[in-house]
Amino acid sequence: MQAVIIIPETEWRAHLARLDKLEQAEAARTMATTAKPDQVLTTAQAAAYLGLSVSALLRARRAGRLQGVRLNEKDWGFHQSVLDAYPRRYYRPTLQVAAA
């Protein structure tokens, strides 16, 4: 024999809403833990990725526009997520002048 519990509809909908919220939080947590780690590119790779020269990339790092990580005594590395955010934040498209 099974037990039956009768609850008001409003309470039932509140429980369903809470369950949906918990399932969404669990799905977000699972996706966050299964996401691939952020790749670190060397200075040359990062410059090629952005389409900049190595000196321009290093100037941007010195000016604080890009955050780098020290790979060794001579070279810097850059997280790919930081490089992906760079053009959206600092890119200024050139103006196209119409030829008369």
Q: Is residue 49 part of a domain?
A: yes
Cα separation, 12 vs 18, in Å, equals 10
pLDDT, one tens digit per residue, over 49-79 is: 888 899 999 999 999 989 999 988 888 999 9
How many domains would you assign to the chain?
Answer: 1
pLDDT, one tens digit per residue, over 27-49 is: 888 776 665 678 999 999 999 88
Q: Is residue 46 part of a domain?
A: yes
The parent domain of residue 71 ranges over 40-90
Q: Do residues 47 and 53 lie in contact, with contact meaning Cβ atoms separated by under 8 Å?
A: yes
The tokens for 72 are: 């060794």
| The pLDDT of residue 97 is above 90 | no
Q: Is residue 32 part of a domain?
A: no
- Model-level pTM? 0.54
Confidence at residue 100, expressed as pLDDT on a 0 to 100 scale: 52
| The pLDDT of residue 95 is above 60 | no
Q: How far from chain centre, in Å, is Cα 63?
A: 22
Q: Is residue 33 part of a domain?
A: no
